[in-house]
């Protein structure tokens, strides 16, 4: 991923230097396991561990000839060790190194991602609790529906973030598997006990049944979980973008001193961070498709997945890490305008209370169809004339005869709609 959308800790995991170091860690762990079994003499192991080193530049130079990255790496390592390097890679195939090393990278990256998602959950929780009683209008199909609170809206995002946190954690538990079972998964040249010892040292589990590779459904599950998490971030970003529209302006991104919104229009304060989140989420989501297509490899393995993973895995991890940090900063600094929310709620002539009146008329003996017709008739008049729905209903004979003025007033009190908000927040506070 380009530096613009990468953070240093995550980017460091996916460098060539870090990748080759993981390969070396796997190779040396296998050598130690063989030495414990008496296959590699102690003095040879000591020489191997003392001399084991690599150079990214030298490995890449050798690869120009070998056209095989693992062979190039081993050649470079062997140059540094000397004759005892004959034991390095003993009984192994390239994918033993590649897939085990990749699992280590994904597990390490997963910890960062889960921590980032957890931080966003807590940021959303804090803002939700801050605005648990901040009245605003709820919208369905983009149209005013009924009163809600801004805190309740944010609470939904907080719970979604928590689900993504759990989903990412579970997915990375499924990728924490390595394999040393050889060319077709039969342990023909290396004992299962060696694999078990090495995986214990590396902090991984043994893949129960491997081919030449670890099954790619594990990798697909991780990328799918990241795509779902990115979609959640996009949903949050789209909400903020809508709320920052000039005619709404209920909330907006923080705007720093010296910041510019447009080269041509000095007045502009655009939701550029939310728009960036929206755009980059599309990239992560798109990466989930090739991850799924990587599952169907030929027989015991082909290499069609390899080139794909070299792109989609580092890019997806880097982007999600960046987006989680960016989203958390956005939520922390979000400017929320309760007064404007009240103005917007009041702007639809009391139509948001229509269901309350509908049920009141039903309680007074009208059929649901009769009650619906009476309320809708007055609601359409309110839409067309800008008159208050309550005033129209108060002067409608079908309503006057059923509901007295004091009860009608009570039906336009938003507190009725919000009386169970605390029950919902009991769930949020448990996060």
* 256 has pLDDT over 80: no
> Of 39, 72, 90, which marks where a domain is finished?
90
Task: Give tens-digit pLDDT for 15-66.
Answer: 999 999 999 999 999 999 999 999 999 999 999 999 999 999 999 999 999 9
- Total domains present in the chain: 3
Task: Give yes or no: 305 in active site.
Answer: no
Return the sign of the alpha-carbon dihedral for residues 301, 305, 307, 309. negative
Q: Does residue 297 share a domain with residue 178?
A: yes
* 347 has pLDDT over 80: yes
Q: Is residue 258 assigned to a domain?
A: no
Q: Is residue 78 assigned to a domain?
A: yes
Q: Does residue 172 share a domain with residue 57?
A: no
Q: Does residue 246 share a domain with residue 154?
A: yes
Residue 41 pLDDT: 98
Indicate the average pLDDT of the chain. Answer: 95
* CB 147, CB 414: distance < 8 Å: yes
Q: Is residue 259 assigned to a domain?
A: no
* CB 26, CB 96: distance < 8 Å: yes
Task: Give tens-digit pLDDT for 395-430.
Answer: 998 888 888 889 999 999 999 989 999 999 888 877
Q: What is the CATH classification number for the domain harbouring 147?
A: 1.20.200.10
Give the length of the chain.
431
Task: Give yes or no: 262 in active site.
Answer: yes
* CB 265, CB 246: distance < 8 Å: no
> CA angle, 287 as apex, 283 and 290 as ends, to 5°?
150
Q: Does residue 188 share a domain with residue 56?
A: no
Residue 391 pLDDT: 95
Higher pLDDT among residues 266 and 167, named by residue: 167
Q: Is residue 336 assigned to a domain?
A: yes
> Of 90, 116, 138, which marks where a domain is finished?
90
Best CA proximity match to 4, nearest among 280, 227, 196: 280
* CB 295, CB 220: distance < 8 Å: yes
Catalytic, out of 6, 161, 262, 304? 262
Q: Is residue 404 assigned to a domain?
A: yes
Q: Is residue 403 assigned to a domain?
A: yes
Q: Does residue 198 share a domain with residue 97?
A: yes
Q: Is residue 261 assigned to a domain?
A: no
Residue 268 pLDDT: 66
Res. 309 pLDDT band, cuts 50 70 90: very high
Q: Is residue 280 assigned to a domain?
A: yes
The most distant pair of C-alpha atoms in the chain lies apart, rounded to whole Å, by 103
Alpha-carbon distance of 323 to 317, in angstroms, equals: 10
Catalytic, out of 6, 85, 94, 141? 141
Residue 263 pLDDT: 62
Return the sign of the alpha-carbon dihedral for residues 103, 301, 182, 72. negative
Q: Does residue 196 share a domain with residue 167?
A: yes
Q: Does residue 238 share a domain with residue 173?
A: yes
Find all residues with CB under 8 Å of 333, minimum gap 6, and list them: 253, 254
Q: What is the CATH classification number for the domain harbouring 402?
A: 1.10.40.30
> Of 59, 90, 121, which marks where a domain is finished?
90
Q: Does residue 321 share a domain with residue 387?
A: no
Long-range contacts, 16-21 (Cβ 8 Å, 24+): 16/56, 16/59, 16/60, 17/56, 18/105, 19/101, 19/105, 20/54, 20/56, 20/59, 20/73, 21/54
Average pLDDT of the residues in 238-258: 91
* 122 has pLDDT over 90: yes
Question: What does the CA dihedral 387, 393, 397, 398 come to, rounded to 10 degrees?
Answer: 130
Q: What is the CATH classification number for the domain harbouring 1?
A: 1.10.275.10
pTM, full prediction? 0.94
Q: Does residue 316 share a domain with residue 216?
A: yes
Q: Does residue 70 share a domain with residue 48?
A: yes
Task: Give tens-digit pLDDT for 171-211.
Answer: 999 999 999 999 999 999 999 999 999 999 999 999 999 99
Tell me which DSSP letter residue 189 carries.
Answer: S
Q: Does residue 227 share a domain with residue 126?
A: yes
Identify the domain containing residue 27 by its residue range. Answer: 1-90
The string of DSSP codes covering 83-147 is GGGGGTTTT--HHHHHHHHHHHHHHHHHHHHHHHHHHHHHHHHHHHHHTTT-EEEEEETTEEEEE
Q: Does residue 391 share a domain with residue 320?
A: no
Across 38-47, 168-177, 235-244, 358-367, least confident range: 358-367
């Amino acid at each position: 991923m380009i530096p613009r959308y990468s953070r240093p800790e995550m980017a460091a995991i996916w460098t060539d230097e870090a990748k080759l170091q993981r390969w070396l860690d796997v190779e040396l762990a296998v050598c130690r396991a063989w030495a414990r079994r008496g296959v590699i003499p102690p003095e040879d192991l000591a020489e191997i561990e003392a001399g084991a080193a690599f150079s990214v530049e030298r490995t890449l130079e050798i690869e120009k000839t070998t056209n095989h990255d693992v062979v190039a790496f081993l050649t470079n390592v062997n140059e540094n060790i000397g004759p005892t390097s004959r034991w390095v890679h003993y009984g192994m195939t390239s994918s033993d190194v590649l897939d085990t090393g990749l699992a280590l990278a994904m597990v390490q990256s997963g910890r960062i991602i889960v921590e980032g998602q957890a931080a966003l959950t807590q940021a959303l929780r804090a803002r939700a609790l801050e605005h648990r009683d901040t009245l605003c209008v709820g919208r369905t199909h983009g149209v005013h529906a009924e009163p809600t609170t801004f805190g309740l809206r944010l609470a939904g995002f907080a719970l979604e973030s928590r689900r993504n946190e759990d989903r990412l954690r579970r997915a990375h538990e499924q990728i924490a598997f390595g394999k040393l079972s050889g060319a077709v998964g039969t342990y023909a040249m290396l004992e299962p006990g060696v694999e078990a010892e090495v995986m214990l040292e590396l902090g991984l589990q043994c893949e129960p049944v491997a081919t030449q590779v670890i099954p790619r459904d594990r990798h697909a599950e991780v990328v799918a979980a990241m795509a779902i998490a990115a979609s959640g971030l996009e949903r949050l970003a789209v909400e903020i973008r809508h709320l920052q529209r000039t005619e709404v302006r209920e909330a907006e991104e923080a705007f720093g001193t010296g910041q510019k919104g447009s080269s041509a229009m000095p007045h502009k304060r655009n939701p550029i961070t939310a728009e960036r989140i929206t755009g980059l989420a599309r990239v992560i989501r798109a990466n989930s498709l090739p991850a799924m297509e990587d599952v169907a490899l030929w027989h015991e393995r082909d290499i069609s997945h390899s080139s794909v993973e070299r792109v989609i895995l580092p890019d997806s991890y880097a982007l999600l890490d960046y987006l989680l940090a960016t989203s958390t900063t956005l939520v922390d600094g979000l400017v929320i305008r309760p007064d404007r929310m009240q103005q917007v709620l009041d702007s639809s002539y009391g139509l948001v209370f229509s269901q309350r009146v509908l049920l009141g008329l039903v309680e007074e003996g009208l059929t649901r169809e009769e009650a619906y017709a009476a309320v809708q008739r007055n609601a359409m008049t309110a839409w067309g004339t800008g008159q208050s729905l309550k005033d129209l209903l108060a002067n409608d004979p079908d309503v006057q005869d059923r509901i007295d003025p004091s009860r009608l007033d009570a039906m336009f009190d938003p507190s009725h709609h919000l009386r169970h908000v605390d029950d919902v927040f009991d769930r949020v506070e448990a996060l």
